[in-house]
Structure 1
Amino acid sequence: MSDGLQAYCKECSAEYYRQRQEAKGKSVRLKVPVASGHKRCPQCREIKPHSEWERNKTSSDGWSSYCKVCRAERNRVSYFKRKYGLTPAELEAMIAEQQGVCCICLAAPAEHVDHCHETGKVRGVLCFSCNAGLGQFKDRPDAMRRAAAYLEGHAWKPTLVAPGVYQLPS
C-alpha cells in the first residue's frame, strides 16, 4: 500500500502464500516457534541451543544454517562427491564389499578413500596407515617392491656397474 503497510495481517499473508505454493506443487516449511537462545535445524528438524551451532557473521541471526552435527555430515558428503565423485551409498557399498577392513593390512577398519593421483580413479578404501604408506611411496610400485624385498631380507643395495651407473637388484 502507499502507506507502507500490507493489506492483510502476517498470518493471512502467510496462509495465502502457502496456498499459492501448494497449488504450484511446492511445499512451504511451517514456522515452528523456538525459544530464545535456541534454533531449529532444517535437516534434523530438532530445536537445539546455540551451543550446538557455529557462528556465522554473514547470516541474519549470527548462527550457521545447520547444527554442528548436520553441518559436519553435509560437508563430509559434499567432500566425497566433489573429490572422488562418490555418494554416501557408493562409499558404504565399497566398504561393505571389503567386509569393512583395509584391503592391504586386512586388520584395521577401512576409513580412507585411496585413489590414483594421475587418473583420479578410486582404487579402494584403506586404513590410515596403509593409505599414508602408499602416499609416502608416491604410488610407485618399483619403490614398494624394493621396500618389500628389504623387509624380507633380500639385498636391496644397487651395485656400481660403471662410474655413476648403478644397477638395481631384480
Structure 2
Amino acid sequence: MNEESESRRCSRCKQYLPCTAFASNKSMRDGLQAYCRECAAEYYRQRQEAKGRKVRVKVPVPPGHKRCPQCEEVKPHSEWERNKTTSDGWASYCRVCRAERNRISYFKRKYGLTPVELDALITAQRDICCICLAASAEHVDHCHETGRVRGVLCFSCNAALGQFKDRPDVIRRAAAYVEGIAWKPTLVAPGVYQLPS
C-alpha cells in the first residue's frame, strides 16, 4: 500500500514512476498531472511543432553560466548584462548577440534597412564613402525631411553634412571658398545680404 502511494502510473507512457516525476496539478484528485514530466514535455513539443513553432531544447548549464538562445553557446555570467526584470537576473542574450540584435533593430527602426539591404548598399558603393572617395563607408546618410536613405558615408563626411544642415547652397559656397573663390556678402538691409554673382 505504501509503495502505491509513492508511485503513480503515467497515462501516456504507462509506466509506474515515483510521484516526484509528476508536476503538480490542483485540478486533479491526487494533485498531480496525468503525464510524467518527460511525457508532458514531449506532448508539449509535439503540439507546438504541429502549430509550426519551435521548442528550444533544454540544455544542462553549470552554475554561474547561462545559454544564449541566439549563438547557442553556454557562457559565464561575466559575458552577460544584468536585468532585474528576468527570473534569473540576467539579460536574455549574451553581450555580443545583444549588441548585434540592437544594431539590426536600430537600422530597421531608423532607416527601414535590413542587414542584407545595408550590406548591398555598401557593396554597391564598393565600401567607399560617396563624398571623399577615400575612407570606408560606415555611416548611413539620410534626408532629415523625407527620411530617404541617400547612401553610406565615412564619419567625417556624414558629420560635415550635418554641420552644413544638408543645405546645398551652403555646401556650394563652402566648396567655392575651399577652391579659393573668396567672396564677401554686401549688407543691403539689416540681416539681408546680397551675394556676389
Between the two structures, name the one with larger relative contact order (CA 8 Å, sep ≥ 6): 1
Does residue 175 of structure 2 align to residue 148 of structure 1?
yes
Counterpart residue identity of residue 4, structure 1: G
- CA distance in structure 1 between the partners assigned to 2:127 and 2:134 by the alignment: 9
Does residue 107 of structure 2 align to residue 91 of structure 1?
no
Does residue 81 of structure 2 align to residue 58 of structure 1?
no
Size of the aligned set, in residue pairs, is 169
Q: Residues 105 and 7 (structure 1 numbering): CA distance in 2 closer, same or farther, change over 3 Å?
A: same
Does residue 159 of structure 2 align to residue 136 of structure 1?
no
| Match among 113, 118, 121 for residue 145 of structure 2 | 118
Higher CA-based Rg: 2
| 1:22-57 deviation digits (Å, cap 9, x = unpaired) | 334433211111111111111111111111111100
Counterpart residue identity of residue 39, structure 2: C
Q: TM-score, normalised by structure 2?
A: 0.81
In structure 1, runs of 5+ residues without a counterpart are: none
Structure 1 residue aligned with 2:48? 21
Give yes or no for contact 1:52–1:68 (8 Å, CA) kept in 2.
yes
Cα distance, 1:8 vs structure 2 = 2.8
4-13 vs 62-71, which moves further: 4-13
| 1:93-132 deviation digits (Å, cap 9, x = unpaired) | 0100111010001111100000000110000000000000
- CA distance in structure 1 between the partners assigned to 2:146 and 2:195 by the alignment: 28
Give yes or no for contact 1:158–1:167 (8 Å, CA) kept in 2.
yes
Q: TM-score, normalised by structure 1?
A: 0.93
131-140 vs 7-16, which moves further: 7-16
Does residue 71 of structure 2 align to residue 49 of structure 1?
no
In structure 2, runs of 5+ residues without a counterpart are: 1-27
